[in-house]
Amino acid sequence: MLRGESANTRSLPATHRLYNPHPLSISDAADGLAEGLALPEAASGPGVLLTADGGRYLGELFGAQTNGSGELVFTTGMMGYQESLTDPSFAGQVLTFTYPLIGNYGIHEGASESRKVWPKGVVVRHAMHQPDHRHSVGTVDELLRLHGIPGIQNIDTRAITRRVRELGTVLCVFGPLDQETKLRKDLEVLTSPELEDLVDEVSIDEPVLLNEGATDELGGQKPRLGVLDCGVKYNILRQLCMVFEVVWCPPDISYSALRDDFAIDALFCSNGPGDPAHPGKATSARNTLAQAVADGLPVMGICLGHQLMGLASGLQTYKMRYGHRGANQPVVDLQDSTVAITSQNHGFAVAHPHDGMLAAHPTGATSPPVTNQHGAEVEVRYVNANDGTVEGLDVIGKPCFTVQFHPEACPGPHDAASLFYRFRSIVDDHLGGES
């Protein structure tokens, strides 16, 4: 153990500070509502949602007065709508909530997972316009208007969900019913958001040291962690700040800058949107991960970070039929056969080294064949109990691991929260071995 870390601190349960996370003084998507900013007029009247496979669904418009378009996906979570709306991994998508009542407890300061609302449209059965909570600063409708995002409600979300489950995710548009002809023309020329560099859109541009000089309960200096922001959720940063001194970095920062300019002890790669094989900033983050692994630095990845590690390890990635989005996904740890119920949000997966591409999209979209960039072998540590897809990797002989699911939750269960402490223990062991 190094830098004043005590055995007592390292043995703390994963939930020790889980419900009192490290505060972050950064912009929140709900700030404008709390400040009473003037909002544009809400959309209203009959609306229609059209899908590229010929689907047509009628509803009522709300949110911003603009049309929605993107990849139609659904999330099965029964709570945490604010967290989902502000999750950068939904960038470029039209988000359907399967739970029928959205907005019953309003919008709250400090509950967002980023600085803005990221879906390009929102589909719900019913949006509550009179939330019942003493700490609410606004409604879902007002949050969408604040960020210029359209919504459609009173729509058959069950039918949409069944169609997506059966046929796979599809492109869609929605807007006023009297503009249906225009909407159909827009749909004909609509391109997949995965062609765009979505990681560039959702990430920061300059490094930020979040908790400089952070110490533990005994005054010992916490190890310094570099966080590659591919669309990081705030609660990931909060959880990491509990156990590390965190440097929040752009995804294209060089490995030499991380080691020479910021003297990091370990590296983390976050969640994020889009195709992990996109040649933009996701690939830049992948190359940095590969260098860190080859250099023997402790590395952890979540969601997109896991997929990028898979690519760096010579495994392909592929588009899933409809992905895993919700707070109820069971994951098996193959090492001890335990099962954790996890929060997830991803439409791509890492191909299994032996079983290949499970639950693949009908289009068969996959990454090009890749080579191992860091020279170490990987093994599958976690799999999804429902469909067998890869949910986590261990890098053999290296202090590195990744998970597809979200141990920080928000929303979701806290079954996997101990993984942040597993990573801290790995970092401590690595630093101790260097001393």
CATH entry 3.90.550.10 includes domain 199-434: no
**Strand ranges in 19-145 using DSSP code E only, listed in sequence order:** 46-51, 56-63, 68-75, 93-97, 101-102, 121-123, 126-127
Q: For each of the chain's 435 residues, which pLDDT tens digit applies? A: 223 333 333 333 333 344 456 778 889 999 999 999 999 999 999 999 999 999 999 999 999 999 999 999 999 998 899 999 999 999 999 999 999 999 999 999 999 999 999 999 999 999 999 999 999 999 999 999 999 999 999 999 999 999 999 999 999 999 999 999 999 999 999 999 999 999 999 999 999 999 999 998 889 999 999 999 999 999 999 999 999 999 999 999 999 999 999 999 999 999 999 999 999 999 999 999 999 999 999 999 999 999 999 999 999 999 999 999 999 999 999 999 999 999 999 999 999 999 999 999 999 999 999 999 999 999 999 999 999 999 999 999 999 999 999 999 999 999 999 999 999 999 999 999 775
Listed residue (232, 312, 229, 230) closest to 274, CA to CA? 230
φ/ψ of 253, rounded to 5, equals -65, 145
Q: Are 245 and 424 in contact (CB under 8 A)?
A: no
Residue 417 is classified by DSSP as T
Residue 431 has phi, psi (to 5 degrees) of -65, -35
Contacts of 145 (CB under 8 A, 6+ apart): 39, 40, 41, 42, 63, 64
- Positive or negative torsion for Cα 174, 179, 184, 185: negative
Enter the pTM of the model. 0.94
User: What one-letter code names the amino acid at 225?
Assistant: L
Residue with tokens 């967290």: 83
Tokens representing residue 110 in the block: 């400090």
Do 71 and 190 meet the contact criterion of CB atoms below 8 Å apart?
Answer: no
- Residue 360 in tokens: 């693949």
User: Strand ranges (DSSP E) for 210-262?
Assistant: 224-228, 245-249
Contact 289, 269 (CB under 8 A): yes
Q: Are 222 and 9 in contact (CB under 8 A)?
A: no
From 147, 324, 406, 414, the catalytic residue: 406
Strand 299-302 with 266-269, pairing: parallel
Distance CA(173)–CA(54), nearest Å, equals 11
Report residue 196 as tokens.
Answer: 């765009």
Q: Looking at residue 1, what is its pLDDT?
A: 27
- Domain map (residue ranges) of the chain: 31-191, 199-434
Give the DSSP H or E segment for 10: helix 7-10
Choose the catalytic residue: 22, 71, 408, 410.
408
The predicted structure's pLDDT at residue 433: 79
To the query of whether residue 5 is one of the catalytic residues in this protein, the response is no
Nearest by Cα to 294 from 427, 435, 398, 433: 398
Measured between alpha carbons, how far is 204 from 68 in angstroms, rounded to an integer? 25
CATH code reported for the domain at 31-191: 3.50.30.20
Q: How far is it, in rounded angstroms, from Cα 418 to Cα 432?
A: 21
**22 is known as an active-site residue:** no
Is 408 marked active-site? yes
- What is the reported pLDDT for 20? 55
Beta-carbon count within 10 A of 196 CB: 17
Catalytic residue among 172, 230, 303, 400: 303
Q: Transcribe 355-376 into DSSP letters.
A: TB--SB-TT--BPPP--BSS--
Non-local (6+) Cβ contacts of 256 within 8 A are none
